[in-house]
């Protein structure tokens, strides 16, 4: 197993902490001098850059939220003048103003380096041909993987998302071995490949998936359709984009690039650190970014963390799978539900196709909770009695796992919308 940057990825944890502290101090000084927002927030807390004497002092620094990014739109949080900024990205901003991040030349170097690390960690090699089916554009996914894979010496096909027929054609013609996509688009591509019925025409072996949650069951769904090894990787625009963390070949958590980011897991309600291994909200502080440094960014992503040494030899902390986002959780009859919990139940039932949608509505004073899910052709076109019985089984499985009874609607295979980017699982039609 190859390690791209062994000196950093396998660093002794004491040394790593010392490096983090030195870089954190430089970052706090930088934002205090250059970004009015951070200067004001630090002043409110009566904190000064000199107060950071030890990593535990991190807890005295202010949090940053999505709202802060929106308020700073577009360049308000930049710590570099535009003369030094060579690229700008933004997140989709489905609700409100998008989040903007700038990159200096050195930031682009770091970005390429860190994406290269996760790609090598997942197992890419120089003889690979990687098809990047993440969208190119303002979204960080396409360009991030592009830079990182090139650095790893891989042959890159900058396909971008969409045009599935062409994706499949090029995959065969160019001998694509590595697919980069969201897990939901990867699943769609996998289904389309199966339909072609020419498995030998494909040489895919490795999937670098990310940008959205992917349960273990979803991973199995993809791997059962095409002979591919699927790996998960995590990133976000506010912190850098892809390259923040990725799975190694052991696939037991995503290694965080801790020499560039300090990660905390906090109780989302109180902000207190949760014990290692327990689920909480991920909070990142960047410690090497020039243009868009960020102090204690509240990601709203929920997962656990471990610093136990990995079998791959890396010493960096590993994040578990993202189990949900504090903002995609919904509440039905007083019960908190994450779409990932619905997904895990559905995908473990034989006869279910891995496409589903959750529709929330309101009838009178009551919330309604419908789960629409595709079933196999045989079931759908089979006996009505069988379909009804199956519907009862799915309802019962969901009820016993979630403690709320959904209305289950079994739909025809292929009838739910497919996505080329991130899947939209929850449709909330409840009046605000």
Q: Are 114 and 243 in contact (CB under 8 A)?
A: yes
| Tokens matching residue 332 | 């039905």
Torsion of CA 129, 133, 134, 138, to 10 degrees: 100
Identity of the residue, 206 or 295, whose beta carbon is nearer to Zn ion in the bound complex = 206
| Tokens matching residue 102 | 């700038």
Mark the segment that binds ligand ADP (CB under 6 A) among 32-40, 115-123, 232-240, 357-365: 232-240
The rounded distance, in Å, linking the Cα atoms of 73 and 218 is 36
The yes or no reply on residue 341 touching Zn ion (CB under 5 A) is no
As measured in angstroms, the least distance from the Cβ of 318 to Zn ion is: 7
Print the binding letters for residues 65-94 with ligand ADP: x by CB under 6 A, - otherwise. Answer: --------------------------xx--
The rounded distance, in Å, linking the Cα atoms of 150 and 148 is 5
Q: Are 376 and 414 in contact (CB under 8 A)?
A: no
The yes or no reply on residue 79 touching Zn ion (CB under 5 A) is no
Give the helix/strand (H/E) hosting 233.
Answer: strand 229-236
Identity of the residue, 218 or 310, whose beta carbon is nearer to Zn ion in the bound complex = 310
Which of 157, 213, 262, 302 binds ligand ADP (CB under 6 A)? It is 213
As measured in angstroms, the least distance from the Cβ of 218 to ligand ADP is: 10
The yes or no reply on residue 118 touching ligand ADP (CB under 6 A) is no
Print the binding letters for residues 287-326 with Zn ion: x by CB under 5 A, - otherwise. Answer: -----------------------x-x-x------------
Residues with Cβ < 8 Å from 136, sequence gap 6 or more? 142, 143, 146, 158, 160
The rounded distance, in Å, linking the Cα atoms of 58 and 61 is 5
Q: DSSP 3-state assignment of 406? A: coil
| Tokens matching residue 237 | 């625009």
Which of 64, 133, 177, 237 binds ligand ADP (CB under 6 A)? It is 237
Instruction: Strand 261-266: give its sheet, edge to edge.
Output: 261-266, 280-286, 297-303, 324-325
Identity of the residue, 15 or 92, whose beta carbon is nearer to ligand ADP in the bound complex = 92
Which of 104, 299, 304, 372 binds ligand ADP (CB under 6 A)? It is 299
Give the helix/strand (H/E) hosting 319.
Answer: strand 318-319
The yes or no reply on residue 325 touching ligand ADP (CB under 6 A) is yes
Which of 222, 236, 302, 345 binds ligand ADP (CB under 6 A)? It is 236
As measured in angstroms, the least distance from the Cβ of 229 to Zn ion is: 15
Q: What is the DSSP string of 197-231?
A: T-GGG----EEEEESS---HHHHHHHHHHSS-EEE
As measured in angstroms, the least distance from the Cβ of 68 to Zn ion is: 33
Q: Which does 312 bind (CB under 5 to 8 A by kind): ligand ADP, Zn ion, none?
A: Zn ion
Q: Which does 301 bind (CB under 5 to 8 A by kind): Zn ion, ligand ADP, none?
A: ligand ADP
Among 18, 41, 14, which Cα is nearest to 294's?
A: 41
| Tokens matching residue 384 | 């009505």
Which of 234, 338, 369, 380 binds ligand ADP (CB under 6 A)? It is 234
As measured in angstroms, the least distance from the Cβ of 380 to ligand ADP is: 30
Bond from prior residue into 87 cis (ω within 30 degrees of 0): no
Q: Are 101 and 240 in contact (CB under 8 A)?
A: yes
Give the helix/strand (H/E) hosting 382.
Answer: none
Which of 210, 293, 339, 354 binds ligand ADP (CB under 6 A)? It is 210
Q: Which does 232 bind (CB under 5 to 8 A by kind): ligand ADP, Zn ion, none?
A: ligand ADP
Q: Identify the sign of the CA torsion 380, 384, 390, 393.
A: positive
Q: DSSP 3-state assignment of 194? A: helix
Task: State the number of binding residues for Zn ion (CB under 5 A).
Answer: 5
Mark the segment that binds ligand ADP (CB under 6 A) among 46-54, 212-220, 222-230, 379-387: 212-220
Q: Which residues inside 92-111 make contact with ligand ADP, applying CB under 6 A? A: 92
The yes or no reply on residue 149 touching Zn ion (CB under 5 A) is no
Give the helix/strand (H/E) hosting 118.
Answer: helix 105-122
Which of 3, 47, 250, 416 binds Zn ion (CB under 5 A)? It is 250
Site for Zn ion, rule CB under 5 A: 248, 250, 310, 312, 314
Positions in the binding site for ligand ADP (CB under 6 A): 91-92, 139-140, 210-214, 232-237, 299, 301, 322, 325
């Amino acid at each position: 197993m190859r390690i791209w940057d062994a000196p950093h990825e396998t660093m002794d944890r004491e040394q790593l902490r010392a490096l983090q502290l030195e870089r954190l101090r430089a970052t706090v000084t930088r934002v205090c001098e250059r970004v009015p927002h951070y200067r004001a927030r630090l002043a409110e807390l009566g904190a000064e850059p000199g107060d950071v004497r030890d990593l535990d002092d991190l807890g005295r620094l202010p949090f940053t939220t999505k709202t802060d990014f929106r308020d700073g739109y577009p360049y308000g949080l930049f710590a570099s003048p535009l003369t030094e900024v060579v690229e700008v990205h933004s997140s989709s901003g489905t609700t409100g103003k998008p989040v903007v991040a700038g990159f200096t030349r050195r930031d682009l170097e770091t970005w390429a380096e860190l994406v290269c690390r996760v790609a090598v960690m997942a197992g890419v090699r120089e003889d690979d041909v990687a098809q990047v089916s993440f969208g190119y554009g303002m979204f960080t996914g396409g360009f991030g993987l592009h830079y990182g894979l090139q650095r790893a010496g891989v042959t890159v096909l900058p396909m971008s998302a969409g045009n599935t027929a062409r994706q499949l054609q090029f995959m065969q013609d160019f001998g694509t071995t590595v697919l980069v996509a969201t897990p939901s688009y990867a699943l769609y591509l996998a289904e389309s490949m199966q339909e072609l019925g020419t498995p030998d025409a494909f040489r895919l072996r490795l999937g670098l998936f990310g940008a959205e949650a992917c349960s273990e069951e979803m991973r199995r769904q993809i791997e059962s359709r095409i002979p591919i090894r699927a790996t998960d990787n995590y990133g976000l625009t506010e912190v850098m984009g892809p390259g923040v963390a990725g799975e190694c070949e052991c696939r037991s958590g995503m290694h965080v690039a801790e020499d560039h980011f300090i990660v905390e897991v906090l109780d989302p309600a109180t902000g207190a650190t949760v014990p290692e291994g327990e689920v909480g909200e991920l909070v990142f502080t960047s410690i090497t970014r020039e243009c868009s440094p960020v102090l204690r960014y509240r990601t709203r992503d929920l997962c656990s963390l471990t610093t136990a040494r990995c079998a791959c030899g890396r010493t960096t902390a590993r994040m578990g799978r993202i189990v949900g986002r504090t903002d995609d959780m919904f509440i039905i009859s007083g019960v908190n539900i994450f779409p990932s919990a619905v997904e895990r139940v559905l995908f473990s039932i034989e006869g279910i196709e891995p496409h589903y949608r959750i529709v929330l509505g309101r009838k009178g004073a009551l919330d309604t909770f419908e789960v629409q899910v595709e079933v196999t052709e045989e079931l759908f076109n089979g006996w009505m009695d069988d379909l009804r019985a199956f519907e009862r089984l799915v309802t019962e499985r969901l009820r016993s796992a979630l403690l709320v009874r959904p209305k289950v609607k079994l739909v025809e295979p292929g009838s739910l919308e497919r996505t080329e980017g991130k899947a939209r699982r929850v449709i909330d039609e409840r009046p605000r």
